[in-house]
Structure 1
Amino acid sequence: MLVVLGTVGWAVVSNPRMSWDVVGHYLFHPAILDGLVLTCWLTVVTTFLGLVIGIVLAIMRLSSNMFISGMSGVYVWFFRGTPLLVQLIILYNLASLFPTLSISIPFGPTLLSANTNTLITPYVAAILGLCLHEAAYMAEIVRGGLLSFDKGQRHAADALGMTGWQKFMHVVLPQVLPSIIPPIGNQLIGMLKMTSLVSVIALSDLLYSVQLIYSRNYQTIPLLLVACFWYLVATTVLSGAQRLVERRFGKGIAVR
């Protein structure tokens, strides 16, 4: 296997058509670096928003109220069951369905109104699409963590007279956090790569910046190698950070 991989690797590296000089020329090109920054920003923001929304959805899903639990279930069913690419395209073209977005009092006056094309820019569509999609997966991760918590310990905390906040911080969180950190880290790394889908709505992330350049100079493969290099660098950094966090919180946390 190593011989085969080595042979394939050497064939790629030594191929003059790979145009490694082009790769080196564009590796630190300002447009590429700007796209990389936007990709990292989208990753952090949408993962954070997705986690916040996911926590709310997980709590709703565990509610004894069937209507509230059902709403959360339908949300997760829809956003996990439809492709992210389709969701992004629908959001970006929302103006074709609703030319104007308004907030009004039922049977009363309109309080706020805005042109949908002005409001839903490629950047806004990307943020909304990515975080809403991510929230469905985060909800299941958090729900799984909460379900793994032993309810007997909650009763013991009640017997000690702990408040709701004290129970959460001193009993629930230290035991739930170690089980949800690894999948959340995996989702963060996955989100970094999923941001490449925003290129279809003309947002200048890393992939779209690369596409703009190779559409002018026709150096498709070398430019895609540049994108692959930076995706690998970013995922390697995130993977290292994930391992550090897992090592830090692997045995739970002590909140004082």
Structure 2
Amino acid sequence: MTGAPQAVEATDVTRTYELDGVSVPALRGVSLVIEPGDYVAIVGPSGSGKSTLMHLLGGLDRPSGGRLVIGGRDVSTLSPPEMARLRNETIGFVFQAFHLLARTSAVDNVALPLVYRGVPARQRRAKAAEMLERVGLGHRLHHRPNQLSGGEQQRVAIARALVTDPAVLLADEPTGNLDTATGTAVLALLEDLNTTSGVALVLVTHDRDVAARARRQIVMRDGRIVPPPEGSVIPAQRRPTEDEP
């Protein structure tokens, strides 16, 4: 069968940290595949390894063992500049804390990843404005973060993550700093972008209600993916309709 390569593929990946001379395993042989257009939630309690896994899937860290392929490239073969380029070209990040530049307008915050690509100023601002329009903030181009609500700041962060047309969007607790109604609206936006643009959406969350919206859930515990009970199948999750709570 031919087609697009897997967005991310991890095979028996481990990650061990050295703390004061003691080896601390954070991941213990994790294998998974993120397909193009996937909508996956990674869930688990604190210390389960889900944040470490997200850092690896996003190319922010490297495995201690196993094989990790992002965008068709084995990360073990890449130099630091090549890893940085791969992240910029393949991965978009959305974080709980937004991470916007406080003294910079929304449009310039969104355009920032394009600076590292060497895109001319006029083109990157036009692309950034287009993305802000897409997330419903075309009227807020020149507002700074302190002039925006929490939900609007997260939408700016989403636009920034998508301005490079990544294959994978990693969202780490994207609703954690938002009230319930605003968080639901942000999730609906992410889901719409997943459907309409084909970007693979990977949510990292401890909130089972948020995870239940995904089409697939990966449950982690003690640095491992927890397999479903023997003989059972975890069905794909159905998104609620507008008429459902």
Where is the helix percentage greater, Structure 1 or Structure 2?
A: 1
Where is the strand percentage greater, Structure 1 or Structure 2?
A: 2
TM-score class, shorter-chain normalisation, is under 0.3
Determine which structure has more spread, i.e. the larger CA radius of gyration. 1
With normalisation by structure 1, the TM-score equals 0.22
